[in-house]
Structure 1
Amino acid sequence: MTSILILNGPNLNLLGTRQPEVYGATTLADIEKMCTAWADAANCTVTFLQSNHEGALVDAIHAARGVQDGIILNAGAYTHTSIALMDALASVELPAIELHLSNVHARETFRHKSYIAKVAVGLICGFGPRGYTLALDAMKSYVED
């Protein structure tokens, strides 16, 4: 059975209340329920972690090695700053998908640079909460091919 880790970075715990004009009204708990329902239907397992701390995300990536089949990472602002997350993903040699709720390429210029993209098999952005199930579909297909 395919096992996928979904990591969410800083400020994603505030979804539903933080800048709803950008991120919508869906909470992280709503997204987790949506992903769990997807996993049940797809005969997969999904594990979730959200942290505002870079080191906790790095630790979770390291712990995924040999346990998970792939990682979906919405690193939030760490996408644009974290060489540590990039190195962690590269070191565990698991496929990773970079995910964003908003279309980061239509936003501020500093959001156009991604360290995560350098080690990801793909990028999904701009589809709001639906991006999570799109990423799950993509990851399942990637690891099972």
Structure 2
Amino acid sequence: DFLTVGAPHPLQIAAVAALNLPDSYYQDLARMYEGKRDLFVRALRDAGLDCRPPGGAYYVMADFSRFPFEDDWTFAMYLVERLRVAVVPGSSFYGDPNDGRRYVRFMFSKRDETLQEAIARVRGLRDVR
């Protein structure tokens, strides 16, 4: 019943705690994620990927059309195997997989150290042409 009728009690307690936080907490949180977003989008662009900053999520869809990879799965596997960076193939997010075959999705909601390491690794794309 908790899944269809009402929220579980621990979730209700967590919601009350979140609602009681000061507005400054959420403003600081938004600024933190904006900084991570701007840093990461800039790094992706510097590496040769085409992307736009997301307006309200911590994911970036990046177009890799400038690179010589057949599709999103091939590019994703290259990133994992060669650069050690995990992404999600873009076709996973489209009703027609062909619409997303030139995109991959990155996530930037990581610790600063992890994000900096990912940025350093993504720079390896500059050598691919």
Q: Give the number of the structure whose residues are more often helix, by fraction.
A: 2
Q: Which has the larger radius of gyration?
A: 2
Structures share fold, TM-score greater than 0.5: no
- Which has the higher relative contact order, 1 or 2, with Cα contacts under 8 A spaced 6 or more apart? 1
Q: Give the number of the structure whose residues are more often strand, by fraction.
A: 1
TM-score, L = length of structure 1 = 0.29
TM-score, L = length of structure 2 = 0.31
